C-alpha cells in the first residue's frame, strides 16, 4: 500500500483523485437534453455506493450486464486515412445505443428502425472490422452488416477478421452456434472475411498444434495484403 492509498475503503478500486467530480458532469446528455443536477441526489448516490457491501455491488453489476448485454467498448480507430472498427464483446444493447440512439435495448432489434445517418456513414466507410465475440449471433446486428456492405459504386469494401472456430459452442439446430453460420456467410459475401481457423497453428509441442479448418480458405483483399505466420494472421493496408 502506498501513501496515496491511505484512507481508501476496501471496495474503492481507484484513488479518490481518479473519481468523477461534480464539475465534470456535462450540462446536456447525448440527445442534447438538459441534465438537471441535484446535489442531494448526487450525494445520496455517492453515499449509497460507499455504504454498499461488495456482494450487493456485484449483484447490481450483474443486473446491469444482463440489461445492456455487457459494457464492452466499441472503438473506432482512424489512422492514415483508414477506419478500423473494434467491437470487442459488445452485444445488442451496446450496438443499439449508438446505431439507433436508443435509451434502452429492445427484445427484437429488427424492429429498431433505421440506423441514424451518423452511424450509417461511419459503417459505410470503415476499412476494417474486427468481428465481435467470435462471430456470435447477437454480437454483430444484421442491420450493421447490411449497412456496412451497402456502399457507393467503386468502393473497395472492407476486411473483416474473426477469431473463431466451428462447432465449439452452441447448437446449429437452435441457431445458437458460434460463429453464427448466416453471419459468416453474409460477411463472406459482403466483405473480405478472414477467419483465424483458416490457418494451422504450429508450435513446438505437436499435441497442442491445431489444424486448419476444412473448407475455410484464406481470401485475398482488394486493398493491402494478408500475411500468414505459424501463429497468427496479419493484415496490412
Q: Residue 1 has what pLDDT?
A: 44
pLDDT of residue 76: 92
Average pLDDT on 70-86 reads 87
What's the rounded Cα separation, in Å, for the pair 70 and 53? 22
More confident residue, 29 or 185: 185
List the Cα angle 132/136/138 in 5-degree steps: 85
Task: Name the grid cell of 161.
Answer: 477478421
CA-CA distance, 214 to 223, in Å (whole number)?
26
The pLDDT value recorded for residue 215 is 83
Please tell me the distance from the alpha carbon of residue 112 to that of residue 137, in angstroms, as a whole number.
17
The residue ranking higher by pLDDT, 63 or 185, is 185
What Cα–Cα distance (Å) separates residue 89 from each residue in 31, 94, 110, 140, 194?
25, 10, 20, 10, 18
Give pTM, 2 decimals: 0.68
CA angle 7, 13, 17 (to 5 degrees): 60
Cβ 143 vs Cβ 99: under 8 Å: yes
Residues in Cβ contact with 233 at an 8 Å cutoff, skipping those fewer than 6 apart: 161, 194, 196, 198, 199, 218, 226, 227
> If you compute the radius of gyration of the chain from its CA atoms, what whole number of angstroms results?
22
The residues, any chain, with a CB within 8 Å of residue 10's CB and separated by 6 or more, are 54
Q: Cell match 477506419: residue? A: 83
Query: Which of left, alpha, beta for 151 (phi over 0: left; psi -120 to 50: alpha)?
Result: beta
pLDDT at 132 over 70: yes
* pLDDT at site 60: 63
Helix residue ranges, H only, 29-154: 39-51, 54-68, 92-99, 117-123, 142-149
Res 73: pLDDT: 79
Greatest Cα pair distance in the chain: 64
Mean pLDDT of 218-231: 89
pLDDT, tens digit, 9 for 90 and up, residues 156-181: 999 999 999 888 889 999 989 999 99
Amino acid at each position: 500500500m502506498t501513501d496515496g492509498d491511505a484512507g481508501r475503503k476496501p471496495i474503492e478500486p481507484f484513488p479518490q483523485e481518479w473519481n468523477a467530480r461534480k464539475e465534470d458532469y456535462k450540462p446536456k446528455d447525448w440527445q442534447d437534453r438538459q441534465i438537471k443536477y441535484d446535489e442531494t441526489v448526487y450525494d445520496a448516490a455517492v453515499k449509497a455506493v460507499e455504504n454498499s457491501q461488495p456482494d450487493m455491488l456485484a449483484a447490481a453489476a450483474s443486473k446491469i450486464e444482463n440489461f445492456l448485454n455487457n459494457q464492452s467498448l466499441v472503438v473506432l480507430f482512424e489512422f492514415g486515412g483508414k477506419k478500423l472498427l473494434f467491437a470487442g464483446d459488445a452485444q445488442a444493447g451496446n450496438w443499439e445505443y449508438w446505431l439507433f440512439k436508443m435509451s434502452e435495448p429492445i427484445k427484437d432489434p429488427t424492429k429498431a428502425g433505421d440506423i441514424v445517418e451518423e452511424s450509417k456513414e461511419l459503417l459505410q466507410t470503415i476499412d476494417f472490422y474486427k468481428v465481435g465475440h467470435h462471430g456470435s449471433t447477437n454480437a454483430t446486428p444484421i442491420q450493421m452488416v447490411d449497412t456496412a456492405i451497402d456502399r457507393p459504386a467503386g468502393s473497395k469494401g472492407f476486411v473483416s477478421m474473426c477469431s473463431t472456430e466451428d462447432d465449439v459452442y452452441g447448437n446449429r439446430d437452435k441457431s445458437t452456434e458460434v460463429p453464427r453460420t448466416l453471419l459468416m456467410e453474409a460477411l463472406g459475401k459482403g466483405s473480405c472475411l478472414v477467419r483465424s481457423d483458416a490457418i494451422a497453428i504450429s508450435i513446438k509441442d505437436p499435441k497442442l498444434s491445431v489444424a486448419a479448418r476444412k473448407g475455410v480458405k484464406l481470401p485475398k483483399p482488394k486493398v493491402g495484403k494478408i500475411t500468414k505466420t505459424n501463429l497468427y494472421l496479419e493484415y496490412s493496408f
